[in-house]
């Protein structure tokens, strides 16, 4: 994981939360609250977060008809 100081910024969180997180990461392999927070936030950011995005994602799931059309093409091409 890169740690170029010029690419890092400071986030502020309440001290009680910081202390709670310090306890939480004991024995987990995370070396600091910063490392843990980065892990959690990246995971969160890598998935649709807003309601709009979630709806869009749901709307773009394939319908049964689309899945069957894809299967039909795959059969025609000899994949199935």
Partner 1 sequence: MIHPHGGRLVNRMVSGEEREGLAREAPDLPAVALNQRELADLEMIATGAMSPLEGFMGGADYRSVIDSMRLANGLVWAIPVVLSAKTEEHKTLTRGDRVSLLDDAGRALAVMDVADRYEADHDYEAQMVLRTNDEAHPGVQYLQSISPVYLGGTIHMIRHPEHKDFARYRLEPKETRVLFATKGWNRVAAFQTRNPIHRAHEYLQKCALEVCDGLLIHPLVGETKSDDIPADVRMRCYEELMERYYPKDRVVLSVFPAAMRYAGPREAIFHALVRKNYGCTHFIVGRDHAGVGSYYGTYDAHAIFGEFEPQEIDITPLFFDHAFYCRTCGNMATTKTCPHGKEDHVFLSGTKVREMLAAGELPPVEFTRPEVAKLLAESSR
Which 3-state string (H, E, C) describes 26-56? CCCCCCCHHHHHHHHHHHHHCCCCCHHHHHH
Among 9, 11, 45, 65, binds partner 1 (CB under 8 A): 45
Binding characters for partner 1, 14-43, by CB under 8 A (x = yes): ------------------------xx--xx
Contact present, 70 and 62 (Cβ < 8 Å): yes
Please report how close the Cβ of residue 23 comes to partner 1 at its closest, in angstroms. Answer: 22
Q: Give min distance, CB of 15 to partner 1, in A.
A: 26
- By CB under 8 A, is residue 71 in contact with partner 1? yes
Structure tokens of 13? Answer: 């969180």
What separation in angstroms does the CA of 44 have from each of 33, 40, 49, 55? 16, 6, 7, 17
For partner 1, the binding residues (CB under 8 A) are: 1-2, 7, 38-39, 42-43, 45-48, 53, 56-57, 60, 62, 66-67, 70-71, 73-74, 77-80
């Amino acid at each position: 994981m890169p740690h170029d100081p010029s690419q890092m910024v400071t986030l502020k969180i309440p001290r009680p939360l910081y202390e709670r997180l310090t306890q939480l990461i004991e024995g987990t392999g995370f070396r600091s609250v910063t490392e843990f927070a980065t892990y959690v936030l990246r995971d969160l950011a890598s998935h649709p977060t807003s309601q709009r995005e979630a709806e869009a994602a749901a709307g773009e799931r394939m319908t049964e008809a689309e899945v069957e059309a894809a299967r039909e093409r795959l059969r025609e091409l000899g994949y199935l």
